Amino acid sequence: MLHLNTVSLEPSYTAAVNLPSTPGKQTPVQEASGTKGTKRFKCPLNLLPLQLQLGRWCPSCTDGWHFCSTQASELLKKICTRNLVRKYCQGIAAEKQAQMQQKVVASAIFQGKKDGYLQSLNEPFVETRLKENDLNPKVLQLIRGEKIKYVTPVTKYDRNGFKPRGRQLVLTQTAAYVVELAKIKQKIEYATLKGISTSSLSDGILVIHVPQDKKQKGDVILQCENIFETVTKLCMLANKQEAVKVVQESLRVRIGPGKESTMVFTAGQELQIYKAKNGQSVWGSGRRTGPVPLQTLFGGWR
C-alpha cells in the first residue's frame, strides 16, 4: 500500500508518497537512493487526477467569514489535499504500484545517461511482451518449476561474426534464458550474473556479462526494442541494479574462453557492425535524437 508522506502547496508543488518496503531488506528502489526504510516517489501534483489538484479553494477570511482566519484556511487546505492524495494512493492497483516502482528504478539507471530515455517516459512498462503460450511446449517443460516473469523477442548476435539470430529472452525468478524455438541456447543464473551493459545511444543493444566457466561460452549480446523495460526488469529480478552500466564509447565483451573483443559505439542512422583496422568491432548505433528503425549491415569480421 502506498502511504502519503508530504505535500507542498507551492505553485510547482509535488506529491511525495512512500513505496512499500520489506523489513530488514532493501528493495532495488531503496538501493538506488542509498537509504534504508521507505523510498519516496515524487511526481508533479498536476499529473494527479483533477480532484487532487485543488485549483480552487474557498476564500480565507472575508467580511462574511468571521469564523475562519487566513491561517486556518491554509491549514484546512493542506489537510484536505493530504486526504485526497492519500485516498488516491490507497486506490492504486497492485499492478500500477509495480509499474511505478519499475519506473523509479529505470529513472535511477538511465536518466541523463542514455539517449531516448525522456521520450520513453510516457510509455508504461507492460507485464510481459509475450505470453507463456507463445513459448514452445518443450521449453516450458525444460524450465518447469520456475515462475516465468517476463518474455520478450530479441535479436541475438553471434560472438564470432556477430550474425543476427532471432531469439526469445525469458526471465524467471531465478535465471534468464535465451531461447531458440524448442531449445534453450543459454541459461544465466542471476546469482552468477556479473553485469549488464548498454550503450548511451538510442539503440537497443544489451550485453549480459557472464562468468568464465565451462557452462558459459561468453557474454550474451542482444538487441531489443524495449530496452529500458527489459533492462529494468532484468536487474530487478536479479536484484543487481548496481551491476547495470551505461557505456559511452566502448565496451569489452568476452567472446570465448580467454578471448575478448572491444565494441566501439558510434552515432549513425542505423545499426552497422564492422571490423576496424585495429581489430575492434565498431557498432554504428542509433542517432541521438531518439529511437530509430534498426537495420543490420555486416562486413569484414572473420
Give the pLDDT mean for 295-299. 28
Edge-to-edge, what's the strand order for the sheet holding 14-19?
Answer: 3-7, 14-19, 39-44
pLDDT on residue 56: 58
Q: Find residue 166's DSSP bridge partners.
A: 155
pLDDT on residue 224: 94
pLDDT digits (tens, 9 = 90+) for 30-78: 344 444 444 444 455 555 555 555 555 655 555 445 455 677 878 888 8
Site of grid cell 508530504: 6
Q: Lowest-confidence range among 59-68, 92-101, 259-268? A: 59-68
Give the pLDDT mean for 113-137. 94
Q: Lowest-confidence range among 47-51, 130-134, 143-147? A: 47-51
Whether the Cβ atoms of residue 34 and residue 108 lie closer than 8 Å to each other: no
Cβ contacts of 79 within 8 Å, gap of 6 or more: none
pLDDT on residue 176: 97
- Indicate the DSSP class of residue 22: B
Domain boundaries defined on the chain: 3-92, 132-299
pLDDT on residue 275: 61
Q: Lowest-confidence range among 19-23, 94-98, 167-171, 212-216? A: 19-23
How far apart are the C-alpha atoms of 289 and 117, rounded to whole Å?
Answer: 11
How far apart are the C-alpha atoms of 46 and 54, rounded to whole Å?
Answer: 10
Give the pLDDT band of residue 17 (cuts 50, 70, 90).
very low
pLDDT of 259 above 90: no
pLDDT on residue 295: 30
pLDDT of 155 above 60: yes
Please give the CATH number for the structural domain made up of 132-299: 2.30.29.30
Q: Lowest-confidence range among 39-53, 98-112, 116-130, 215-229? A: 39-53
Distance of CA 181 to the CA centre of its chain: 26
pLDDT of 302 above 50: no
Nearest to 145 by CA among 174, 178, 182: 174
Give the pLDDT mean for 163-180. 96
pLDDT on residue 199: 92
Give the pLDDT mean for 169-193. 96
Give the pLDDT mean for 244-266. 86
Mean pLDDT for all residues in the chain:
76
Site of grid cell 477570511: 61
pLDDT of 276 above 70: no
pLDDT of 11 above 50: no
Q: Lowest-confidence range among 9-18, 113-122, 260-269? A: 9-18
Higher pLDDT, 134 or 264: 134
